[in-house]
Amino acid sequence: MRKNVVVPLGLLAGSLLVGFLLVEVTFRLTGTSYPLWTRADEWTGFSLRPGAAGWQTEEGRAYVRINRHGMRDKDRRVGKPEGTVRIAVLGDSYTEARQVELEKTFPAVMEHALRSCDRLNREKIEVLNFGVSGFGTAQERIHFRQVVRQFAPDIVLLAMTTGNDIRNNSFALEGNRMKPYFRLDGESLNPDFSFRENPAFRRQLSFSSRFFQSLVHHSRALQVLYHAKKIIGRNAAITASTGSGTDIAGHETGLDDEVYREPGTGEWREAWELTEQILGGMQIDVRESGAGFAVVTLSNGIQVHPDPAVRERAARELGVTDLFYPERRIERTGKKYGFPTLTLAPMMQKLTEERTLTFHGFEQTGPGAGHWNEEGHRVAGELIARFVCASLL
């Protein structure tokens, strides 16, 4: 009787294993992969997973590889090579830029363009990409303290995505209990690492969770299953939020239209105040390390939309004359704390009108929405390089 049960179970297990291996081989032959790009991090909540590699095809198409230091960059030495000017770029998904090939990202474009800067005295130039998708300004400041300054940069550029960075810095607006924040305590700005005590975060650090992530990291079949689970969860969240969103022209899920006008609620006023103080504190951190600091505000799709009628409609529906309130506010913050700023959106909007260029969007998203495409990265990289050469070197 026992044999009658064991043999069929063994055959079933063997069949499942063979089937799994066939699926695994098929996915590898077809190049199908959905790597786990991030891992739990006790300082920033999450960080890029060293060694993660694969094709990103959800928005644009690019082969992405995370180096041994957890950077979407080519291999770099921690110690700065002699005779080298090193620039560190911190930012979010626009900076990490999984949507385009590494050599097309704006930090790579900057590195190439700066080689011809006449202010360099035979020095080599390195532009290191420390962008992490999903980071806000608070995480970027902590990331500088814990990781970036070990690389001894001469200049630190903070690339801000105004469309969500302001909200990312506010627990009241963001509500994410799996990452750090800064909190205002009277006149003091203090880091809040209470996410470390969150049971959900602690589970991510457990042996069983790390073992499962290691399995997914090495198995294409498990990556597909895990990705499908994420898509279902994401779609459920979008469905649950339907009806609470905005009808503003050009609105994009994940970006905030409220940044284009004076804050109308206490939560938004606090979010802006937090952001400004984090920037001021980061400037102190960077300068104490011996490096120069500057902030570059990037563009949101609606600000540089190729159809001016869409931009005008969005501004009209928001009750503003233009969509550059966040740029003006960050410029004022720079003057207050004494760091230079470069605001790309107004410059890129002008180029859009003069040359009929489209900086955002891919086949999957359509023109004018989503992250920068290759043209967006090229123009941004060249503009930032010009700014760095003229003002920071």
Per-residue pLDDT of 58-98, as tens digits, reads: 899 999 999 999 999 999 999 999 999 999 999 999 999 99
Question: From CA 372, how far away is CA 93, in angstroms rounded?
Answer: 10
Select from 323, 321, 320, 319 the least CA-distant residue to 250. 323
* pLDDT at residue 145 in the model: 98
Q: Which two tokens stand for residue 37?
A: 């790009």
Determine the Cα–Cα distance for residues 329 and 205; give it in Å rounded to an integer: 39
Q: Which residues make beta-bridge pairs with 294? A: 157
Give the H/E segment covering residue 322: none
The identity of residue 142, as a single letter, is I
Give phi and psi for 385, each to the nearest 5: -60, -40
The answer to whether 320 touches 260, Cβ cutoff 8 Å, is: yes
Phi and psi at residue 181, to the nearest 5°: -135, 170
Determine the pLDDT at residue 5. 59
Of 153, 146, 151, which Cα lies nearest the Cα of 75? 151
Q: How far is CA 135 from CA 44, 47, 151, 261, in A?
A: 8, 9, 20, 23
For residue 17, CA distances in Å to 14, 20, 373 come to 5, 5, 41
**pLDDT score recorded for residue 3:** 57
Cα separation, 254 vs 324, in Å, equals: 18
Residue 250 pLDDT: 74
Q: Please state, in angstroms and rounded to a whole number, the distance separating the CA atoms of residues 142 and 365.
A: 32
Q: How many Cβ atoms from other residues are within 10 Å of residue 6's Cβ?
A: 10
pLDDT of the residue at 240:
45
Q: How far apart are CA 137 and CA 156, in angstroms?
A: 13
Contact 104, 46 (CB under 8 A): no
Non-local (6+) Cβ contacts of 204 within 8 A are: 40
Structure tokens at 308: 């001016």
Q: Pick from 393, 388, 391, 299: which is nearest to 109 by CA?
A: 388
Please tell me the predicted confidence (pLDDT) of residue 313: 95
Which pLDDT score, from 0 to 100, does residue 242 have? 39
Q: Alpha-carbon distance 131 to 107, whole Å? A: 10
Q: What is the pLDDT of residues 209-228, one digit of tens each?
A: 887 777 777 777 666 676 66
**pLDDT lower than 50: segments of the chain:** 1, 237-245
- pLDDT score at 356: 87
Cβ atoms of 76 and 68 closer than 8 Å: no
Phi/psi for 65 (5° steps) reads: -135, 130
Q: How far apart are CA 336 and CA 239, in angstroms?
A: 42
Tell me the C-alpha distance between 106 and 127, whole Å.
Answer: 10
